[in-house]
Structure 1
């Protein structure tokens, strides 16, 4: 009897130990021992899920005896049993094809759907209840049609004019699709947003100018008879403690379409990152909208973080989407609490699925254009998948003197709302326009890569009533042109008759390739200022240019491959990888390494 009692006690002890829930932590590295960000870590028995951060670290609730599954597109799946409280570190190795990963994701998607798992886990990670059920992006997601820029003849169009774009949503949205094994719609590929997602080591501005300008030219890495021109801007870095007080109105979508973990659940955790950044001099209000709009937090000092987070954590989703009413109310509160010479901004967080009130793109555009005259800027944060309305989010951001980001993970939330946030909201120049004049003795044709929805009429450059993009503290903006030199035969350029009345042979400096003009306004100004810079021609191989030039060219090439562009001579992913590896540079945060892994994994 004594022996039986002892055995029973041992069994009970083991059972109790196995039922003990702990926080499992660890680090995931790739085959080179570099941190691997974005790895899906799942508890087999409960489907609780998190992803690794940019240092490869993760934290997840599990019980002793349960198993963790580690998955990353292009890498072999690994399982590890939870035995104790010690960290579980994993090294992943490339082995599986994308098709195999898609099958795994699809199978688990069906299982997750059956169990109807949803909700948020503490400590900033969440249950992922929205796996794609196939490798197609849902038809309910909407993207504006993009008509790729073509080569233009310098004879007939010597000027190229466009607005800057600091939006970065295009890259994180594509990353989401690749990580879920989905095919990418061409219209979701915004090459300028892919390029501008990354920071570049451009020099700080001199004197009192708000930004510096850098230009480079080299032989094109994807067409042997063309050249590539890079134009880069760098906004002046302003220390956080030196930025003025902020008047922020959080406008949060709590409609029924947000009722999933990677929408409202992720939104709550993401807003916590932003709240951590607030200072005593900042103030926050919270407006929510579903079937109607309402205020859930009156203006509150940034130091009262507990009160702000309580209001956010109490939110739940349900009802239709009265987005127009929410925007009106948010701007009303922002205007009533306006801080002169401060940061006054509405921060909209939604999947963009407006369906009550002002819902059409045109109606929303008119509403935001009217409201921006108040001096209140707009930031749009996109969440979720399946019915994500990128077209509406971009419309709102463009017309509201603001910017647009897509948050797919907590890592992206920390980037957008943490390390980069005060740089984003502190606008140092608005209505920034570029106009490039090409020298007809050097260039016979050119095309701007990306920026299709940012093109301006040439006469808009000098018209201060025309809206353009904003530049925040520390931001970099990069634009690439591909040019066909004079004397080069190209299938990309169609013949036109010689012009009878226009003389294109006069130019003052035959060594200059082009002249770049920049116009911008002070954040509270109405009259623009002008900066002019020229670029001389050379025949440098891109391998001998800056790391930034090589990496931005790699991103542009990958974007063109995703769009199946007619203007590139290589469809090889290896060409992208080699160019990106050469331009990887210091890469402190690991974003460039992540890009290289995405290219390797995309099929």
Structure 2
């Protein structure tokens, strides 16, 4: 009897040991231990395996894990934490800031790497005016150098001008946001972004603002505000905001879309073609039966993998995306030509005709120069086919080329660094990304010299126009999408203020005559806008003066203070001479106070980015 009992116990123990582990669905939220705010983009990995996920904008995640396995939670600037999965189904945790982690990061050229990995890098800055590049590098063992061939157009920061000598400021609006997500990619990787990768207007316009809706026939409203400049209390800051008309998705015109996808060998990385496919699957889910999609790919050659297909055949479109693989060289010119040909064959006279180009920008076979690409795309936009550009990846990313293509194609440009950004661009902002409600939108501001000693436009360096371009309907400018907001900031030096930035002395041989009406007026400046309907050729004019009614910064709107905090952080990233003594901690405090409701969590994410950069800068 005793032998039987021992045998049974042995059998039960052995059977239990061989029982399969139980898979558990673990959910939770990751927050920062120092302030309790959620952390987006935390890597949640099953230790010892390649499986994992990342936290969303609310710091939440969900992952299937076998009991007994360990979850690792890691994010730049925080101590990595590991938790063993047992019987729990919810794991919430707070990550502690790691002050020592970033001491092991060194700057190399325009980027940074961990000391154990660093060898050297070259990042190219493209100066269109000089037709040259300005590489920046630090020399290490040549045999170990890993080259970074990313390209950015050189930016010469706007300076102060006197209204007496230059009374007009003219520029094209910009709804692109690629610079912001690209900057985020650098900081999340523990790197300081290149100065010329930081376009302040794109950082500001990454966010939506709570402006009043347009009324009447105009497709957008104009909103203005003035208060103290946070980085210089003697200066003023003028905030100009446009709000595009919101159009319900069901009321949007039918779309004729061509997905032009780069499947060359340079797109094989996980953050390129695999991310591209995931992002476009999100877009496909937004399509309606009246929408149509064709898919063109290019590598060593260009080809069509899906003819124009109704949006109701989602399975067919998704199947075509699933089959895509990377390999070969990059015949970008041939791909663009084929995409425009297919768009023309399926043209919707009353609809939205658009090519969506997704690439790392590395065109190296065929029609690849910026000039030839510009001529082709300018010609096609006049035929009613617009171009949206989505950038992916790092290392060989060609930002300058992609910005050019989008600008010339009457479209917008976004950088997709993760699936959450793909969702923002292709789902949350579906209408604004794909449906234009006004094109060739230009702004011209005239300053009252009796009120304004000097002014400067913050950002928009690549969007500057000649003053005479404002009334020239042949001159191309920016586009505004359904529901989009556009924000611009001017820094003002009031008359009578002594400032080191006062630009030039009074003229010796001539003087500028100021009208009596200017002296009698309480207007600080006059804002004029021109725009065309999406299919129009003649512009419409809107004019609105801004009265000299400055308020204290603390009494300004959340829109004002939030845009100012983002602009200030951009100036810090660019090491601008105009930032004064304003530091990262100041931008952080202002952003926290102006976060507002933050429905999608984008502002909370920005606050987290500023914190990460603050750790890097110590």
Check whether TM > 0.5. yes
2:590 aligned counterpart, secondary structure: helix
Indicate which of 371, 377, 387 corresponds to 2:386: 377
SS at match of 1:585: coil
Residue number in structure 1 paired with 2:595: 584
* Alpha-carbon shift at residue 497 of structure 1 (Å): 3.3
Q: Which residue of 2 aligns with 1:92?
A: 95
Note the C-alpha offset of 1:108. Answer: 10
C-alpha distance in structure 2 between counterparts of 1:235 and 1:441, whole Å: 33
Contact conserved, 1:137 with 1:183, CA < 8 A, in 2? no
The reply to whether residue 249 of structure 1 matches residue 251 of structure 2 is no
Whether the 8 Å contact between 1:177 and 1:183 is mirrored in structure 2 is yes
In structure 2, the CA distance between the partners of 1:427 and 1:98, relative to structure 1 (3 Å rule), is farther
Which has the larger displacement, 137-146 or 385-394?
A: 137-146
Taking structure 1 as the reference length, the TM-score comes to 0.91
User: In the alignment, is the contact (CA less than 8 A) between 1:137 and 1:182 conserved in 2?
Assistant: no
Task: Sort the Cα spacing of 1:10 and 1:156 in 2 relative to 1 into closer, same or farther, 3 A.
Answer: farther
Of 299, 302, 310, the residue aligned with 1:290 is 299
Structure 2 CA distance for partners of 1:280 and 1:507, relative to 1, 3 Å: farther
Structure 2 unaligned blocks of 5 or more = 107-112, 120-144
Q: Which residue of 1 aligns with 2:142?
A: none
Matched residues in 1 for 2:475 and 2:178: separation? 24
TM superposition shift of 1:85: 7.0
> Residue 75 of structure 1: CA displacement?
2.6
Shift of 1:285: 0.5
Taking a change above 3 Å as real, the CA distance of residues 45 and 504 of structure 1, as seen in their structure-2 partners, is: farther
Q: Deviations over 1:211-237 (max 9, x none)?
A: 000111111110122111111100000
Contact 2:431 2:483 in 1 (8 A): no
**Would the aligned equivalents of 2:42 and 2:54 in 1 still touch at CA under 8 Å?**
yes
State the match for 1:306 in structure 2.
Answer: 315
Label 1:248 to 1:491 Cα distance change in 2 as closer, same or farther (>3 A). same
Per-residue deviation, 1:184: 1.1
Instruction: List gaps (5 residues or longer) in structure 1.
Output: 111-135
- Secondary structure at the counterpart of residue 262 of structure 1: coil
The residue that corresponds to 1:45 in the other structure is 48
Corresponding residue of 1:28: 30
The Cα of 1:411 is off from its aligned counterpart by 0.8
1:528 aligns to 2:539 (yes or no): yes
Alpha-carbon distance in structure 2 between the residues aligned to 1:2 and 1:356 = 78
Cα displacement (A) at 1:24: 3.9
Q: How does 1:132-147 map to 2 (within 5 A)?
A: 139-147=148-156
Query: Counterparts of 1:214-363 in structure 2 under 5 Å?
Result: 214-363=223-372
1:565 aligns with 2:576: yes
Question: Shift of residue 254 of structure 1?
Answer: 0.4
Deviation per CA, 1:306-352: give whole Å up to 9, x if none: 11000001100000000111011111111110111111110111111
Q: Which moves more between the two structures, 63-72 or 515-524?
A: 63-72
1:554 to 547, 565, 582: 565
Change in Cα spacing, 1:15 to 1:417, as seen in structure 2 (3 Å) is farther
Q: Tell me, in whole angstroms, the C-alpha distance in 1 between the residues paired with 2:146 and 2:543.
A: 44
Q: 3-state SS of the aligned residue for 1:150?
A: coil
Q: Residue 421 of structure 1 corresponds to which residue in structure 2? A: 430
8 Å contact 2:25–2:89 — kept in the other structure? no
Does the residue aligned with 1:225 lie in a helix, a strand or coil? strand
| Aligned residue in 2 for 1:407 | 416
Q: Which moved more, 1:439-448 or 1:460-469?
A: 439-448
- Give 1:392 shift: 1.0
Corresponding residue number in structure 2 for 1:541: 552
> Residues of 1 paired with 2:9 and 2:516: CA distance?
98
TM-score for the superposition, normalised by structure 2: 0.89
Q: Aligned partners of 2:371 and 2:19: how far apart in 1?
A: 61
Please name the residue that 1:432 is paired with. Answer: 441
Q: Which residue of 1 aligns with 2:503?
A: 494
Q: Among 69, 74, 89, which residue is 2:72 paired with? A: 69
The 1:307–1:567 alpha-carbon spacing in structure 2 relative to 1, beyond 3 Å, is same
CA shift, 1:195, in A, is: 0.1
RMSD over aligned Cα atoms? 2.3
Counterpart of 2:219? Answer: 210
Q: Distance in 1 between matches of 2:16 and 2:9?
A: 10
Note if contact 1:26-1:87 (Cα within 8 Å) is conserved in structure 2: yes
Whole-angstrom CA distance in 1 between matches of 2:404 and 2:541: 27
Give the match's secondary structure for 2:380: helix
Per the alignment, in what secondary structure is the counterpart of residue 579 of structure 2?
coil
1:42 positional shift: 1.7
Distance 1:101 1:46 in 2: 26
Which residue of 2 is the match for residue 164 of structure 1? 173
> 1:21, CA displacement in angstroms?
5.4
- Paired residues in the alignment total 577
3-state SS of the aligned residue for 1:422?
helix
Q: Deviations over 1:137-160 (max 9, x none)?
A: 963111111110111111211100
Bigger mean CA deviation after superposition, 532-541 or 453-462: 532-541
Contact 2:158/2:459 (8 A) holds in 1? yes
Question: 2:484, 2:508 → 1: CA distance?
Answer: 42
Offset, 1:28: 2.0
| 1:299 Cα deviation after fit | 0.9
Distance 1:300 1:221, change over 3 A: same
Instruction: Please give the per-residue CA displacement for 1:159-217, whole angstroms capped at 9, x wherever unaligned.
Output: 00000000001111111111110121000000000000000000000111100001111
Residue 55 (structure 1) aligns with? 58
Distance in 1 of aligned mates of 2:532 and 2:516 = 30
C-alpha deviation, 1:427, in angstroms: 0.7
